[in-house]
């Protein structure tokens, strides 16, 4: 499916034309009519990385379509973590294959908390945190990020106090790096969070799905590598880095002080991931490094382009350059398009209100609506910039035109 459409032969973001992308049947491409430019859900407009495609093709050719063994995933993540992050905290003994990151989070919560217990999240944050935590019979307590969009110790301390008032075993669910702000937590920030969590007896589960997507200038710090984080859990996946959301598999990793908890993980959890999922994720972590580097270079260029386009065409809005991910969090509050109280649909990924609704209707650009990301999200939109530069230019042009710029 490659074409000469792109400007850079190695950049995965410049390989596919809009016409080619519109033949896709994934949620990003079927949710809206063809006149809408979809820059919402976290799927990338890239072809499959060749090592992943080759691994899957070989499996098809040899009829290797049985159950996953779970044997190779820890090995692949361990090698990637050692090479990219200088961290050797993943072993077959301290990890388990799970169906995907969200279900892995739910399983970790089941291991270390009880129904009714509080789960602290740093809002605004990935909307399914709300939906999955709630459907797992836990309660969300928000610890809003600071105005600088970074973790806020004062708000975390208040949330821990609230959580402990009503639950015996509260948990902090971290997003590292953070979706939707693209913030990469520093070691000093994580150390401060760990110290606070220990003081309050709060266990931590860290969602590290965006870790492979840390962009030049920032450094990813695995949560479990932080001193004092030994009784935590972390989740890894190739799903975001290599666009494998349709190929289900993820890895739940326990710190040394959580290995006994992991031993209680029900055996049936390992029945959820698919063999094709495990093979694809293993191929990505083992052999997808060069492809990932080309992607990161493309994303680095795109975040700068997007920031420039926004500064020029949408000057009332504010975009802080993301340090990771392909998601940009655009402050549209000064446009006056949102209403207070539009927080009924927190956690419902596809719900629209305020600026996202305006841009869909008037600009035919689909963005994620900030209000579903929890407190602090109303009046923002999240832009997925894992697309071609032509699409980014067209999206911002349409948005500015809709505002009569």
Cα(101)–Cα(74) distance, integer angstroms: 14
Continuous H helices in 216-330: 259-262, 275-287, 289-313
- Residue 179 as a binder of ligand PLP (CB under 6 A): the answer is yes
* Least distance (Å) between residue 376 CB and ligand PLP: 16
Name which position in 72, 207, 278, 323 contacts ligand PLP (CB under 6 A).
207
- Residue 296 as a binder of ligand PLP (CB under 6 A): the answer is no
Choose between 138 and 240: whose C-beta lies nearer to ligand PLP.
240
Cα(79)–Cα(341) distance, integer angstroms: 47
Choose between 41 and 192: whose C-beta lies nearer to ligand PLP.
41
Name which position in 11, 94, 95, 239 contacts ligand PLP (CB under 6 A).
239
The token pair at 264 is 């209680």
Q: How far is CA 339 from CA 64, 365, 380, in A?
A: 53, 20, 12
What DSSP designation does 49 have? Answer: P
Contacts (Cβ under 8 Å, ≥6 apart) of 207: 101, 105, 126, 129, 173, 174, 175, 176, 234, 235
- Residue 176 as a binder of ligand PLP (CB under 6 A): the answer is no
Name which position in 42, 48, 269, 280 contacts ligand PLP (CB under 6 A).
42
Choose between 27 and 375: whose C-beta lies nearer to ligand PLP.
27
Q: How many CA atoms lie within 13 A of 195 on its CB side?
A: 7
Cα(306)–Cα(285) distance, integer angstroms: 28
Nearest partner of 242 among 42, 60, 397, judged by Cα: 42
Q: Which stretch binds ligand PLP (CB under 6 A): 28-36, 54-62, 99-107, 142-150?
A: 99-107
Angle at 211 between CA 207 and CA 214, to 5 degrees: 140
Choose between 213 and 403: whose C-beta lies nearer to ligand PLP.
213
Choose between 205 and 245: whose C-beta lies nearer to ligand PLP.
245
Choose between 124 and 379: whose C-beta lies nearer to ligand PLP.
124
- Residue 323 as a binder of ligand PLP (CB under 6 A): the answer is no
* Least distance (Å) between residue 4 CB and ligand PLP: 30
Q: Which residues bind ligand PLP (CB under 6 A)?
A: 42, 100-102, 126, 175, 179, 207, 209, 237, 239-240, 245, 250
């Amino acid at each position: 499916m490659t074409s000469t459409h792109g400007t850079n032969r190695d950049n995965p973001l410049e390989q596919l034309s809009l016409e080619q992308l519109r033949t896709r049947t994934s949620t990003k491409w079927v949710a809206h009519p063809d006149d809408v430019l979809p820059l919402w859900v976290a799927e990338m407009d890239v072809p499959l990385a060749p090592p992943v495609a080759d691994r899957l093709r070989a499996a098809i050719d040899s009829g290797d379509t049985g159950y996953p063994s779970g044997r190779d995933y820890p090995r692949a993540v361990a090698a990637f973590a050692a090479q990219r992050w200088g961290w050797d905290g993943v072993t077959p003994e301290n990890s388990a294959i799970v169906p995907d990151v969200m279900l892995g989070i739910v399983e970790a919560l089941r291991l270390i908390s009880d129904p009714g217990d509080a789960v602290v999240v740093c809002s605004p944050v990935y909307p399914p945190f709300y939906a999955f935590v709630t459907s797992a019979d836990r309660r969300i307590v928000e610890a809003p990020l600071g105005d600088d969009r970074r973790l806020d110790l004062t708000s975390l301390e208040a949330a821990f106090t609230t959580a402990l008032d009503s639950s015996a075993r509260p948990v902090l669910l971290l997003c590292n790096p953070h979706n939707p702000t693209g913030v990469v937590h520093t070691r000093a920030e994580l150390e401060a969070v760990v110290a606070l969590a220990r003081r309050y007896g709060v266990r931590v589960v860290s969602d590290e799905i965006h870790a492979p997507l840390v962009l030049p200038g920032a450094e990813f710090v695995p949560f479990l590598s932080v001193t004092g984080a030994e009784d935590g859990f972390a989740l890894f996946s190739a799903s975001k880095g290599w666009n494998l959301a349709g190929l289900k598999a993820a890895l739940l990793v326990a710190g040394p002080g959580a290995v006994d908890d992991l031993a209680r993980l029900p055996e049936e959890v390992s029945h959820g991931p698919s063999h094709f999922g495990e093979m694809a994720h293993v191929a990505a972590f083992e052999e997808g490094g060069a492809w990932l580097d080309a992607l990161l270079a493309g994303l680095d260029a795109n975040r700068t382009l997007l920031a420039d386009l926004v500064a020029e065409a949408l000057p009332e809005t504010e975009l802080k350059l993301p340090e990771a991910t392909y998601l940009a969090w655009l402050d549209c509050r000064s446009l006056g398009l949102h209403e207070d109280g539009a927080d009924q649909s927190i956690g419902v990924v596809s719900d629209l209100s305020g600026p996202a609704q305006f841009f869909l209707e008037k600009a035919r650009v689909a963005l994620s609506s900030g209000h579903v990301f929890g407190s602090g999200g109303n009046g923002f939109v999240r832009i997925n910039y894992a697309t071609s530069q032509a699409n980014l230019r067209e999206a911002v042009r349409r948005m500015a035109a809709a505002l009569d710029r």
